[in-house]
Amino acid sequence: MLRPALLILSGNAAASGFLFVRNLAVAALVPVADYGIAATFALAMAAVEMASSFGLQQQIVQARDGDDPRLQDALTGFQLLRGVLSAIALFALAGPLAMFLGIPEVTWAYRVLALVPLLNALQHFDIHRLNRNARFGPLIAVNAVPAMLSLAVVWPLAIWVGDWRVMLGAILFQAATGAILSHLVAERPWRAAVDRVFWSRTLRFGWPILLNAVILFLVFQADKLAVGRILGMTSLGVFAMAITLTLTPSLVAAKTIQTALLPRLSGMVDTSGFAGLAGVALTASMVAGLALACAGILLGWTIAPWITATGYAALPQLIGPLAVMQGIRIAKSGSTVVALSVGLTGNAALSNLPRIAALVAGVAALYQGYGLPALIWLGVAGETAGFVLSTALVTYRTGLRWSADQIALGAFGIVSAAAALVMPFLLLAALAALVPLLFELRSARQTT
């Protein structure tokens, strides 16, 4: 199992790495306010994807008849309908969204973005079906190659247009190449079918996932919407960059855990080995979450001296808390995958409800003038409550039991992240006390 997991991790890391570098390149080539506008494109795309998310990729992996061509054709037809409706919705909402954010001149760009959900809907489902037999290469290629190509076009686009339109062009190019490549690596012919039986089953399987997608949109995007609305595009640009630096590795880790373990867990539900593999999922997610939290805090300390004279000077104080928040979210992903493997698709939505309450409190804090740190720390509190709820749900609904090692690891993670966050303040306090003492000693020596 280690070799496929490493393959998936490297593939996901490559895809996310290319997109990460692309975002950094765009941020370096355009003004901060323009990067804020570019960040709203991801927000718009997330909105339409959220409204039509039914977990089709998870269904073809988790279902016992996932290899049935009829199921695949039905899911393809469902996905195509979903893409058409999403494209129409984004086109219609382009004007209101641009007006809400105070950037009406960008309306046409949101309408052009309506092509992206349609292109994504044209991807071939074989790249997901092949995961059932641990054949992850096609999916990795479709994720990584278009991301690499979208990075390659950033520089020519920057020379040509030189503003937020760079990101628009890169997103469109990535979607088009992803759709084309998915057909090139497929084994079965692409067929879209209308099947009421399979579509009804998809709706039953997917409605909790749709509910969770709505919640995730609020968790990942509504705060950006509030920041752009209340604080403006420049603040949104800084906030979006901080999220990019911390969210990218968290998505890599969570996606790797799900891709590597969901097929195996789904195939072992009724066997004696299920509990052991579920324990691996829970432990791996906590280890990954702890690693991200500590790495993000270290990154915030490291980059602070280098960007004080740039438009991103406020970035270091945001990265550490955001890394802790994403680390807790990764730690929660293990219990989510275990629940999904036994068909408990509603667990994820329930465990994200505390985060929504924290978001409401955070937006209220922004309106009261408390700034971005208050928004983030309230998010940390919400994610912590969600982690506790998620673990409790999967323990109660599946009968799993947490080992002493896993409990110790969770406690160690909390203590380590807290210690890493407060360390800079402890060092500053120590220096503040030490420096006057050194001056007093120096003065005493000079007088003697």
pLDDT at 429: 46
Which residue in the block uniquely carries the two structure tokens 């309306």? 107
pLDDT at 188: 86
For residue 220, the 8-state DSSP code is I
Q: Tell me the residue length of the chain.
A: 448
Per the CB < 8 A criterion, the answer to whether 173 and 160 are in contact is: no
Gap between the Cα atoms of 123 and 107, Å rounded: 27
From the list 414, 39, 74, the residue with the least C-alpha distance to 241 is 39
From the list 28, 36, 20, the residue with the least C-alpha distance to 238 is 36
Tokens representing residue 447 in the block:
């007088």
Which residue in the block uniquely carries the two structure tokens 């036994």? 342
pLDDT at 427: 46
pLDDT (tens place) for every residue of the chain, 448 residues total? 555 555 666 666 677 778 878 888 888 888 888 888 888 887 777 666 655 555 667 667 766 776 778 888 888 888 888 888 888 888 888 888 888 888 888 899 989 988 998 898 888 888 888 877 767 778 888 888 998 999 999 999 988 888 889 989 999 999 999 999 999 988 888 888 887 887 787 777 766 766 766 776 776 677 888 888 888 888 888 888 888 778 777 777 777 777 777 777 877 777 777 777 887 788 888 888 888 888 887 777 776 666 655 667 777 788 888 888 888 888 888 888 888 777 776 777 788 888 888 888 988 888 888 888 888 888 888 888 888 888 888 887 777 766 655 565 555 555 555 555 555 444 444 444 554 554 555 555 555 5
CA triple 296-222-147, angle to 5 deg: 60
pLDDT at 448: 55
pTM: 0.64
Tokens representing residue 210 in the block:
């749709």
User: How does DSSP assign 33-72, residue by residue?
Assistant: HHHHHHHHHHHHHHHHHHTT---HHHHHHHSTTTT-HHHH
| C-alpha dihedral, 18 to 19 to 21 to 22, nearest 10° | 120
Gap between the Cα atoms of 211 and 347, Å rounded: 11
Tokens representing residue 16 in the block:
């996310």
Per the CB < 8 A criterion, the answer to whether 406 and 283 are in contact is: yes
pLDDT at 425: 47
- Give the largest Cα separation in the chain, rounded: 95
pLDDT at 66: 65
What are the backbone dihedrals phi and psi of residue 151, each rounded to the nearest 5 degrees, phi first?
A: -70, -40
pLDDT at 430: 47
Which residue in the block uniquely carries the two structure tokens 């920041």? 227
Per the CB < 8 A criterion, the answer to whether 336 and 393 are in contact is: no
Q: How far is CA 351 from the centre of its chain?
A: 16
For residue 105, the 8-state DSSP code is G
**Torsion sign (Cα): 103, 105, 107, 112:** negative
The three-state secondary structure class of 369 is coil
pLDDT at 181: 93
pLDDT at 149: 92
The three-state secondary structure class of 153 is coil
pLDDT at 322: 87
pLDDT at 173: 93
